């Protein structure tokens, strides 16, 4: 029987780390409440073979389509097969496995109907554990924190965190064409979902430095390009939400019933 949670792991050329990471997930109690799927974004190495050897569900893109598209493939799968929650986590080992259960428990807390719609694992909250980051990345994060606060009045300490938990209304909205950034879904998505009325919450996270492979923000050109793209896409999300260009989410129309799922 399917669990109520789908754990989505996007992966691109992660042969050096994904095997150990998947072993740590399988050795934990995550499989008690979550199914696992890896979205292989046309890796040129043995990432797909390693995942198959672990007997874990795998979807492989025929071409490299980008991080956002890999996540959206997972969202579409979750909608198709009726999952109630999605937790997304990187396969490079930077996100500790202990974060998964924490996010799940927060998604399901449902105290007086106050469960968050979108949970972000932050390395900058009290009780978080993290690694040192570069000056330029700190500068970028500071900029996007202020940008998010100005545009949506939302206080987010870790706007580039890919460690997230999503309720059905969120990931089903993301699964729809035009509602999700297929390249860099970071601060722009936070602004969009906040302005659309979704409840966003951060929780402390445990993160580690990458020990193998290459980050998608590696080098000099990539981080600069990312900054420009993110500024424009966040502005785009702000204006589209303010002027109601996005379609109204089902959550806000009140026509979604998770009991039927």
- pLDDT tens readout for residues 150-192: 988 899 999 989 999 999 999 999 999 889 988 888 889 999 9
pLDDT band (50, 70, 90) for residue 238 = confident
| pTM across the whole model | 0.86
Q: Tell me, what's the pLDDT at 249?
A: 67
Residue 214: pLDDT above 90?
A: no
Q: Is pLDDT above 80 for 224?
A: no
Q: What's the rounded mean pLDDT across residues 201-207?
A: 95
Q: Which pLDDT score is estimated for 184? A: 82
The CA–CA distances, whole Å, from 183 to 77, 108, 231, 244 equal: 19, 29, 13, 22
42 dihedral zone (left: phi>0; alpha: psi -120 to 50; beta): left
CB neighbour class for 177 (10 Å; exposed up to 12, middle 13-18, buried from 19): exposed
Say how many CA atoms lie within 13 Å of 26 toward its Cβ.
13
Mean residue pLDDT of the chain comes to: 86
Distance CA 198, CA 181 (A): 17
> Of residues 81 and 141, which shows the higher confidence score?
81
Taking the C-alpha atoms of residue 241 and residue 152, their distance in angstroms, rounded to an integer, is 10
Quick one: pLDDT at residue 260? 36
| pLDDT of 212 above 70 | no
In the predicted structure, residue 197 carries a pLDDT above the cut 80: yes
Q: What are phi and psi of 128, to 5 degrees?
A: -80, 160
**Per-residue DSSP letters for 22-57?**
HHHHHHTTGGGTEEEEEEE---SSSHHHHHHHTT-E
């Amino acid at each position: 029987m399917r669990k109520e949670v789908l754990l989505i792991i996007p992966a691109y050329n992660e042969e050096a780390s994904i095997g150990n990471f998947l072993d740590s997930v399988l050795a934990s109690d995550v499989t008690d409440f979550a199914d696992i799927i890896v979205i292989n974004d046309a890796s040129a190495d043995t990432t797909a073979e390693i995942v198959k050897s672990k007997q874990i569900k795998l979807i492989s893109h025929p071409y490299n389509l980008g991080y956002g598209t890999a996540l959206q493939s997972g969202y579409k799968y979750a909608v198709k097969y009726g999952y109630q929650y999605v937790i997304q986590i990187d396969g490079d080992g930077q996100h500790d496995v202990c974060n998964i259960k924490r996010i799940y428990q927060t998604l399901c807390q449902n105290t007086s109907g106050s469960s968050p719609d979108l949970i972000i694992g932050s390395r900058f909250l009290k009780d978080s554990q993290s690694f040192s980051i570069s000056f330029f990345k700190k500068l970028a994060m500071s900029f996007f924190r202020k940008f998010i606060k100005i545009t949506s009045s939302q206080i987010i300490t870790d706007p580039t965190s890919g460690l997230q938990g999503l309720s059905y209304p969120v990931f089903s909205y993301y699964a729809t064409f035009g509602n999700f950034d297929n390249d860099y879904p970071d601060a722009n998505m936070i602004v969009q979902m906040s302005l659309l009325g979704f409840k966003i919450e951060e929780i402390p996270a445990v993160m580690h430095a990458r020990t193998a492979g290459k980050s998608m923000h590696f080098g000099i050109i990539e981080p600069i390009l990312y900054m420009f793209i993110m500024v424009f896409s966040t502005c785009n999300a702000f204006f589209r939400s303010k002027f109601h260009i996005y379609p109204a989410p089902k959550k806000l129309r009140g026509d979604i019933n998770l009991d039927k799922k």
